[in-house]
Structure 1
């Protein structure tokens, strides 16, 4: 449909072409995921581990699930493993220079447990997977067992998925690495690009409000440390990836608009993030809103807009 700017998208929305554009964008992502699955199979390596990493709210979790299904259609059984479940209990989380919990730090993960589990899986042993409860800040075990067969793949997903401190746990000849980003290609106009970080912040704000119990104040307070953590722990390892996947879709901001605007407007004017809040409201003001009900149930965007049952 050749939609490149906010005005062109707004025209499509007002003209009743929203569903067509959404399907076009979703089909493009499906083709790309299918291509990545083919690339993994055709890599020529005796693969055992697929590492998936990317910055906050890039869509890692849903991409991993979709890739798992694509590989399954090709006869490859996979086992997704989320690094988020390897967080240490909150009291053991490293702190930053301000004394706040640094959730982006690599030592916020229990690397000892992760290495032991990967060693056990490599040796054909059974492990019990952990589960981290974000609302309580504690890890628990629920009897979820995993044994990796010789012809199966582990899909290990998390912000640190390309960090050599993790990937060095296995033989690199048996690994395939994927970097997931959310680079918005839509523009405000032909000269003004949309910030990728602003796009991800809107995704994260809505998701964390719905699933992690975060107030809008907490979302704005945490974002600077999230960005600093990305610069330190994620972006430097991007060149190590075998392939890159961009999860951003052109129709997202109109969907995020009616969900994010009430949250942003609730931010107290005295909050340090008020300047960024005004910038986000100005950005969203460029778009006609779209109801989230029109988003396909299997869309990557659902990771950020769906609400818990």
Structure 2
């Protein structure tokens, strides 16, 4: 199913004479990404003086440009009345605080009940934006902040900011081991060679950089702050396991539950009850696609992480006596 077509028209400014058609189109219609505009040039949906030309065609200035915009609706995602914790909302963007357990996109095993379904119910116009405006993702069992584009202009801007590493993403994680100091993990990540559901540090992987610092130490575990320089799948989970401090509760990269020697009954109970990776996207900062102003949003740690931290603090106090 497609949105109704829209037709946009413009004239090539004389000062753009001698430039490529795809470059001119990107400046005339900044709401759309260069790759999308190039596709429309090749399909004949972007015409110059009524003619289909190549993206590399050099304009002379003064020509008429006609652009037929055909935005495909999302397939397989229906609106669902799922509650959203919205932390920022305006005409261009939404910032939502995703709870643990909520899948971001419909897919195999999760055909419905996702964040994307919830967004389509909250704003039906998101059906005309790629992936209902979702430009980055969090794992199902990771909680925290995500930014959503409500217009094509915002979508293009946010994708470009993410690509240029201009979006600040900060996480709180609880890891195994009493870490002494923070550091930087610069280790490429790619598909695990034997398990297609996992990622791994590998020489032929894509560049991946994570910065971390100690926020609070416990007897055998540590609360750390992680900042992403890149955004690879499972990046923090893979990188912290790589430096021998896997996330508590992480079934894929943390291994079996490890109980600290002499742990209090309360800590044992809290660790056994914590069934997800202890990871929360607590801060998100980006430039507003329309105003250019910095937007910074924060979200408190969810109740399950706070309960685990309370048990860790009590255990640490108990053994300090």
- TM-score normalised to the size of structure 1? 0.21
- TM-score normalised to the size of structure 2? 0.20
Q: Which structure has more RCO (C-alpha within 8 Å, separation ≥ 6)?
A: 1
Higher helix share: 1
Structure with the greater alpha carbon radius of gyration: 2
